[in-house]
């Protein structure tokens, strides 16, 4: 094994270990940077889409509050109110429905005149429900239903009635002769001096919210988003839309959600090979927190680490090969060529050619070696000449 090969081998091992160490360090740094980027991006993404959701829901709350405000102090003709509701729905395709429900005989005291009338119940109670027909710019007018239900599907009216508060309902299934869908209701109470008379609400279809927000990929075109109600019901689910209207399935996640979200704290949870980032926010005057969840797959870390390691390894190999090529050139130019001259020069001397000359004129280790060999050649030549001279003298004397 030549010296050049051994030196190259040792240097290769040292360089490989050095680059491996640097690759590990860079991988750790890359992982930390990626994690920070994911967290920062998730926060920014969640804030952005939380504002989008909030804007959508606040817009509905604004219309509900605006429509009910004059009804606190006046009682226009019921027919004109129905026409106004119809105009609002036809001009706002993002709203599925706008409705009013008044307590018995508390609108204008004329319920007895409207028994079983259009947009009323059999007692004459004023309960118009106007919703999108499915045909652009056209609305359908019916009577509200389900508002007296006590099984949770009537909470959109029962909670504002009992607590006299603004309310954004949990997602619930609404069924009628024309409609069967999951929706949420944004409700403003109609009350004066603390006395509840009724409520005005706007309904939004969960499927429309799903179309708008459920298809968002929050990080590098990966992951998904969900919108979760205060009690832990999915209103939007970018991973599995069939879960809309259902509670968080993981018991630990649900417990953490119920505890942290209503304190208004951001938090994270790991499940299903995803890291979930939760960001609570308010809607209108509803004091409860809704939550935007941004979920990023853990595989993104593995993929990034794999890419980093491969990149670093290829870089190390390329640098290593380049260094070895350069070292080989340097050895060839500075050492090997000089050593070959020294070997050739020594072989000339060994063969008895004491008049051979070295052509290496550089003042380096090889030059010193050749200089020493040249001095040895001259000394040998001098000794041989002296021996020859002594031999001649001895021969002349003997004669």
Is the four-CA dihedral 258, 261, 262, 266 of positive or negative sign?
positive
Judged against a pLDDT cut of 90, whether residue 395 lies above it is answered with no
- How is the chain split among helix, strand and coil, in percent rounded to 5? 50, 20, 25
33 versus 206: the higher-pLDDT residue is 206
Contacts of 63 (CB under 8 A, 6+ apart): 88, 92, 95, 98, 202
pLDDT digits (tens, 9 = 90+) for 70-99: 999 999 999 999 999 999 999 998 899 999
Of these ranges, 153-162, 313-322, 335-344, 356-365, the one predicted with the greatest mean pLDDT is 153-162
Give the mean pLDDT of 392-396: 73
Whether residue 236 contacts residue 226, with contact meaning beta carbons closer than 8 Å, is answered with: yes
Q: What is the pTM of this model?
A: 0.69
Tell me, rounded to whole angstroms, the distance of Cα 292 from its chain centroid.
Answer: 14
Query: Cα(224)–Cα(364) distance, rounded to whole angstroms?
Result: 68
121-168: per-residue pLDDT in tens? Answer: 999 999 999 999 888 878 999 999 999 998 888 999 999 999 999 999
Least confident of 204-208, 253-257, 383-387: 383-387
- Hey, what are 210's tokens? 């799903």
Q: Is the pLDDT of residue 37 over 90?
A: no
Please check the confidence at residue 233 and state whether its pLDDT lies above 70. yes
- Residue 167 and residue 286 in contact, taking contact as beta carbons nearer than 8 Å: yes
Burial category of 11 from C-beta neighbours within 10 Å (exposed 0-12, middle 13-18, buried 19 and up): middle
């Amino acid at each position: 094994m030549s010296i050049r090969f051994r030196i190259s081998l040792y240097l290769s091992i040292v360089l490989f270990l050095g680059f491996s160490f640097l690759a590990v360090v860079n991988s750790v740094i890359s992982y930390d940077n990626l994690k920070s980027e994911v967290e920062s991006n998730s926060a920014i993404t969640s804030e952005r889409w939380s504002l989008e959701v909030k804007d959508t829901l606040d817009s509905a709350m604004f219309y509900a509050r605006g429509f009910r405000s004059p009804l606190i102090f006046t009682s226009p003709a019921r027919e004109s109110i129905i026409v106004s509701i119809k105009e609002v729905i036809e001009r706002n395709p993002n709203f599925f429905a706008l409705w009013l429900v008044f307590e018995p005989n508390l609108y204008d005291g004329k319920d007895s005149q409207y028994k079983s009338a259009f947009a009323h119940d059999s007692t004459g109670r004023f309960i118009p429900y106007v919703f999108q027909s499915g045909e652009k710019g056209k609305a359908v007018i019916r009577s509200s239903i389900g508002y007296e239900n006590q099984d949770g599907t009537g909470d959109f009216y029962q909670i504002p009635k009992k607590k006299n508060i603004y309310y954004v309902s949990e997602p619930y299934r609404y069924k009628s002769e024309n409609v069967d869908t999951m929706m949420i209701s944004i409700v403003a109470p109609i009350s004066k001096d603390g006395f509840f008379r009724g409520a005005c609400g706007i309904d939004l279809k969960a499927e429309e919210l799903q179309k708008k927000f459920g298809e968002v990929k929050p990080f590098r075109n990966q992951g998904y988003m969900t919108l979760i109600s205060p009690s832990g019901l999915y209103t939007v689910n970018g991973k599995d839309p069939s879960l809309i209207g259902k509670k968080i399935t993981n018991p630990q996640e649900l417990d953490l959600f119920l505890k942290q979200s209503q304190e208004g704290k951001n938090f994270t949870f790991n499940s299903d090979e995803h890291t979930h980032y939760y960001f609570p926010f308010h809607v209108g005057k509803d004091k409860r927190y809704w939550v935007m969840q941004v979920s990023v797959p853990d595989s993104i870390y593995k993929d990034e680490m794999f890419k980093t390691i491969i990149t670093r390894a290829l870089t190390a190999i390329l640098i290593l090969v380049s260094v070895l090529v350069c070292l080989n050139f340097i050895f060839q130019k500075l050492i090997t060529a000089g050593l070959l001259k020294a070997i050739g020069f020594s072989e000339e001397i060994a063969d008895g050619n004491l008049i051979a000359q070295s052509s290496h004129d550089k003042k380096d280790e090889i030059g010193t070696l050749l200089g020493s060999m040249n001095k040895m050649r001259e000394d040998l030549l001098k000794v041989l000449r002296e021996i020859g001279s002594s031999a001649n003298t001895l021969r002349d004397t003997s004669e």
